[in-house]
């Protein structure tokens, strides 16, 4: 028994040593910061208070009464709603198309995918010119339709659509890659037997392709949703959250609160909200929606 | 009929997708007086690029980005390989709980913890250093999952055989597992490199010197040093300079990149 016991111990120590390097950084930059944020969110720590002091739930109370907070939260939900389903559907359509043997396959794949390797900040520069009133590319195109005078980034309703369209352009090709990978795992025989039965392309898609791609869709859904809370780089260049917070998003508001207003307590409370939202979505997907995807 | 319409639509989509890139290149290499006119003339100039290159320390920014990207990837590969092997092949106490802890990093990425991580970095006295930019990304749950998936498909007999020949554990890892997981490493490398080449918010917050600033932050500062919209040619030239290396690398190796992705076990 002693020998077996010792072998077990050896494997345990060995495994933990292998995990140690990852764990150190995981604790230092994920778990410890989250814990610190939760604590700091119950303190008043801004420019007016040189020594942070405990103020109960004051930050949260002020946050709930803050119109800008509700504005950025609803903006973020619209932003997620606008970008996630469309970019995933487009990614799937791109994969189905680029997966076929067709002329210029490599070229089409490249055209779809390249925005992924272009930094968001560069994307923002280019699209700023596209959206510029009067001289921008979009204005020129709209002129043909007699709507030349539209302002895209300076208008409270248009600005969100402008952002959503740009982000779909940036992300769809990335999701295509995951679908291309997913398509490789579907056996050719299924398609052969479907065509023997005389099934129409749409039926094949609905009955075979789409259900079998479900694990991929779940995985992509999580990436897309997290991205809709992560992507704020473009705001720095294009709108700074304006006009009148119409394009402001939660992470950008955290950035402003922490590094422009230097209200650390409030920035912590906002970060806690962000973490809770993301964990909630993870929990829904992990325990509810997702019975098919296994990480084992 | 349906097939034809979708075909045309999808080619059209490809053209639409290419437009911003084509336009950026077009503007960058045209005389600046023509930047906002929509005439098709065969004018070509390198003036904008030269001007931009001399106006800001882009060479330094390139170097910084290169060091950050390779540094992050090198460390990630080591930490992820070790952790993936443990999760894939060893049975140990606390494995499932630890696995869930790793999963959390996928959902709560360092990018949204900009404020608390800034404080961590300040406490470590690593603000405005390249190491500080890199460190939050040294552990990659994504990399661990990808490699674990691949390692699991490698038959145990190979490891047994290597052990019979007297290989130590790290020789087994290095000679058996790593070579067989090559497509996964390439796919992960592509994701990691393009991610960190693109990263902006975090380096913007933690850097304030030319020595440590990556390209993205340098570009943003350069673009914002102009009045809005007045300098399209220069800003386009700077933008093209920033996106060109990664774009070129992607175009040259795209088949390999995409195939690696497809065969890496990313599902």
**Contact (CB<8Å) A25/B21:** no
With CA atoms as reference, the chain B residue closest to A254 would be B115
From CA A172, how far away is CA A89, in angstroms rounded? 8
From CA B83, how far away is CA B139, in angstroms rounded? 10
- What's chain A's Rg over C-alpha atoms? 24
Domains of chain A by residue range: 67-289
Question: Which segments of chain B have a pLDDT < 70?
Answer: 35-40, 227-230, 263-267
* Beta bridge partner(s), residue A34: none
* Residue A290 or residue A203, greater confidence: A203
pLDDT digits (tens, 9 = 90+) for A216-239: 888 888 889 989 999 899 999 888
Residue A295 pLDDT grade (very low, low, confident, very high; cuts 50, 70, 90): very low
Closest-CA distance of chain B to residue A18, Å: 5
pLDDT of residue A138: 79
- Whole-number Cα distances in Å, A214 to A94, A280, B75: 16, 21, 33
Helices (H), B29-93: 47-55, 58-89
Q: What is the mean pLDDT of residues A143-169?
A: 83
pLDDT of residue B36: 65
pLDDT digits (tens, 9 = 90+) for A41-90: 999 888 888 888 888 888 999 999 999 999 999 999 999 999 999 999 99
pLDDT of residue A1: 54
- Go through the domains of chain B in sequence order and give each one's CATH number: 47-262 (1.10.3720.10)
Q: Please say whether the beta carbons of B135 and A29 come within 8 A.
A: yes
> Which CATH architecture fits A67-289?
Orthogonal Bundle (1.10)
From CA A278, how far away is CA A271, in angstroms rounded? 11
**Contact (CB<8Å) A11/B91:** yes
B175 DSSP 8-state letter:
I
pLDDT digits (tens, 9 = 90+) for A114-142: 998 899 999 998 998 888 877 777 777 77
How many CB pairs below 8 A link A and B?
A: 274
With CA atoms as reference, the chain B residue closest to A138 would be B20
With CA atoms as reference, the chain A residue closest to B137 would be A25
**Contact (CB<8Å) A236/B204:** yes
pLDDT of residue B55: 82
Residue A200 pLDDT grade (very low, low, confident, very high; cuts 50, 70, 90): confident
Residue A296 pLDDT grade (very low, low, confident, very high; cuts 50, 70, 90): very low
Indicate the average pLDDT of chain A: 87
Q: Does A118 touch chain B (CB under 8 A)?
A: yes
What's the farthest any 2 CA atoms get from each other in chain B?
Answer: 73
**Contact (CB<8Å) A237/B220:** yes
Q: Which residue has the tokens 């962000």?
A: A274
């Amino acid at each position: 028994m002693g020998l077996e016991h010792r072998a077990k111990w050896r494997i345990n120590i060995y495994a933990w040593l292998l995990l140690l390097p990852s764990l150190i950084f995981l604790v230092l930059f994920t778990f410890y910061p989250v814990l610190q944020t939760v604590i700091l969110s119950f303190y008043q720590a801004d420019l007016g208070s040189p020594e942070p002091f405990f103020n109960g739930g004051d930050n949260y109370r002020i946050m709930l009464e803050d119109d800008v907070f509700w504005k950025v939260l609803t903006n973020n939900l619209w932003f997620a709603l606008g970008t996630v389903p469309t970019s995933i559907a487009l990614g799937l359509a791109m994969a189905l198309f680029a997966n076929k043997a067709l002329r210029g396959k490599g070229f089409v794949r490249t055209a779809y995918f390249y925005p992924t390797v272009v930094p968001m900040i560069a994307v923002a520069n280019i699209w700023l010119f596209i959206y510029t009133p009067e001289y921008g590319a979009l204005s020129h195109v709209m002129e043909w339709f007699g709507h030349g005078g539209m302002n895209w980034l300076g208008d409270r309703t248009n600005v969100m659509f402008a952002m959503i369209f740009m982000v779909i352009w940036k992300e769809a090709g990335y999701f295509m890659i995951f679908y291309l990978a997913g398509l490789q795992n579907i056996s050719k025989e299924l398609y052969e037997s479907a065509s023997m039965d005389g099934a129409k392309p749409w039926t094949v898609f609905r009955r075979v392709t789409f259900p079998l791609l479900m694990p991929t869709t779940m995985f992509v859904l999580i990436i897309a949703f997290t991205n809709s809370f992560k992507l704020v780089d473009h705001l720095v260049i294009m709108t700074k959250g304006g006009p009148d917070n119409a394009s402001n998003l939660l992470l950008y508001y955290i950035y402003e609160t922490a590094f422009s207003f230097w209200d650390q307590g409030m920035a912590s409370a906002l970060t806690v909200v962000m973490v809770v939202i993301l964990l909630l979505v993870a929990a829904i997907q992990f325990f509810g929606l997702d019975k098919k995807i296994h990480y084992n | 009929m349906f097939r034809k319409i979708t075909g045309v639509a999808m080619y059209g989509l490809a053209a639409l997708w290419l437009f911003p890139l084509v336009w950026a290149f077009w503007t960058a290499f045209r005389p600046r007086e023509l930047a906002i006119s929509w005439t098709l003339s065969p004018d070509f100039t390198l003036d904008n690029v030269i001007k931009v290159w001399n106006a800001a320390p882009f060479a330094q920014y390139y170097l910084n980005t290169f060091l950050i990207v390779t540094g992050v990837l090198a460390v990630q590969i080591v930490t992820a390989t070790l952790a993936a092997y443990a999760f894939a092949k060893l049975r140990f106490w606390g494995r499932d709980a630890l696995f869930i802890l790793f999963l959390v990093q996928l959902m709560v990425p360092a990018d949204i913890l900009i404020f608390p991580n800034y404080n961590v970095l300040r406490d470590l006295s690593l603000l405005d250093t390249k190491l500080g930019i890199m460190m939050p990304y040294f552990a990659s749950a994504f990399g661990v999952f990808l490699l674990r998936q691949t390692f699991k498909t490698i038959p145990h007999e190979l490891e047994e055989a290597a052990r019979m020949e007297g290989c130590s554990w790290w020789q087994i890892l290095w000679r058996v597992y790593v070579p067989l997981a090559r497509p996964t490493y390439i796919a992960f490398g592509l994701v990691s490199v393009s991610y960190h080449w693109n990263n902006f918010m975090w380096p913007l917050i933690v850097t304030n010197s030319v020595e440590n600033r990556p390209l993205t932050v340098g570009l943003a500062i350069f673009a914002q040093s102009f009045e809005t919209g007045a300098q399209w040619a220069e800003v386009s030239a700077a933008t093209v300079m920033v996106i060109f290396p990664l774009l070129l690398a992607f175009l040259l190796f795209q088949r390999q990149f995409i195939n690696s992705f497809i065969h890496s076990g990313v599902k």
